[in-house]
Amino acid sequence: MNWVIDIVLLALLMFTAVTIARLRGLFSAAIVAGIYSLLGACWMSVLDQPDVAFTEAAVGAGISTVLILVTLSLTTSEEKEPKHTPLLPLVVVLITGAALIYGTIDMPRLGDPQAPTNLHVAPRYIEESPHEIGVPNLVTAVLASYRGYDTLGETAVILTAGVGVMILLGGARRRRWRADDDKRDRA
């Protein structure tokens, strides 16, 4: 019976993905993208991945859909000239990329069995978490128990970023309304 739910959810995911690709209206594409994220969260829940399901539901179906819709409400049909030179963002991206690459130079190779994580941390989590926590899913056990405060901190960062973006977009909307009012007053 569980395989039927998997097939139905995967079919709905494929259907919504094709629908998003075929839609021409940005508003309807944003709504269907939110539905896609919600279906993805349902599928992760069926696969016993509640941490990923919660994240997908909150970020994918919730915050992302709201941010896309707010952004769509702030756009106009006319293209505006950029206020900055395109060289500055390129320089910032190159400097940031170089700093990130420099920071990864001394990291162990991917999958290295002699990496500190593979020698000390991972074996303890794998061997002890069923006895200490009693959660059958190892990822959920690590995120909810061993790294609970870290996960709480990440959630607080995401919430703060979302609130900050909403405040910024709200300010842009007010500026646009004032500009529209000024145009009407001049006419």
Q: Answer whether residue 25 is part of any domain.
A: yes
Highest mean pLDDT (candidates 7-11, 24-28, 119-123): 7-11
Q: Answer whether residue 169 is part of any domain.
A: no
Query: Is the distance from CB of 115 to CB of 121 less than 8 angstroms?
Result: no
Whether 77 has a pLDDT exceeding 60, the answer reads no
Q: Answer whether residue 3 is part of any domain.
A: yes
Q: Answer whether residue 14 is part of any domain.
A: yes
Whether 9 has a pLDDT exceeding 80, the answer reads yes
**Which has the higher per-residue pLDDT, 158 or 97?**
97
Q: Answer whether residue 19 is part of any domain.
A: yes
Both structure tokens of 64 = 């992302």
Q: Answer whether residue 162 is part of any domain.
A: no
- Can you tell me the distance from the alpha carbon of 15 to that of 177, in angstroms, rounded to the nearest whole number? 38
Q: Answer whether residue 127 is part of any domain.
A: no
Whether 88 has a pLDDT exceeding 70, the answer reads yes
Instruction: Provide the residue range defining the domain that includes 60.
Output: 1-75
Q: How confident is the model at residue 110 (pLDDT cuts 50, 70, 90)?
A: confident
- What is the domain count for the chain? 1
Q: Answer whether residue 83 is part of any domain.
A: no
